[in-house]
Amino acid sequence: IVDTLLLLTLKKPRRSVERTYVKHANVWHKFLYNGGILESGEHSTMENDIWPLHWTIRLKEESEQMAAVKENLKEMNSLATKLKTMSEVTCKLCNVVLYTVPEVRLHIVSKVHTDKVEATIPDGTPGCLGRSSVI
């Protein structure tokens, strides 16, 4: 019985697993989230702590303004990469009003905009595309 169940399990069709890209997979102390690594025992004084000696990630709260800027950047990148009709878009990071898709594309790759993105948004933030994403 065990042999037949084992063979049935091995021959069962499996679902494919989609591969995902992890930006800092081979770099120590880098992760996708905006935060910092807690040392073991630093914040493990809680009563019901399951793993008190394991290192954990302390996530930093994101302000509503920064979330709005990131959402605006994602919207501008989607406008620049796809052919959509638009009325007008304001870059909340640079306070520039853009009226056409080519203007959005030129603004996204401009030196002023990319410098502001690099200065205000930490490296590794998913969805905030830089200079090479549009070209």
Residues comprising the chain, all counted: 135
Which two tokens mark 77?
């990148």
Which two tokens mark 105?
């594309």
Tokens 């697993």 label which residue? 17
Greatest mean pLDDT range, 9-23, 66-80, 102-116, 119-133: 102-116
**How many angstroms separate the first and last alpha carbons of the chain?**
60
Q: What are the residue ranges spanned by the domains of the chain?
A: 1-61, 64-133
pLDDT in tens, 14-44: 888 887 777 766 777 666 666 665 555 555 5
The count of other CB atoms within 10 Å of the CB of residue 86 is 14
Tokens 């994602």 label which residue? 74
pTM (two decimals) = 0.44
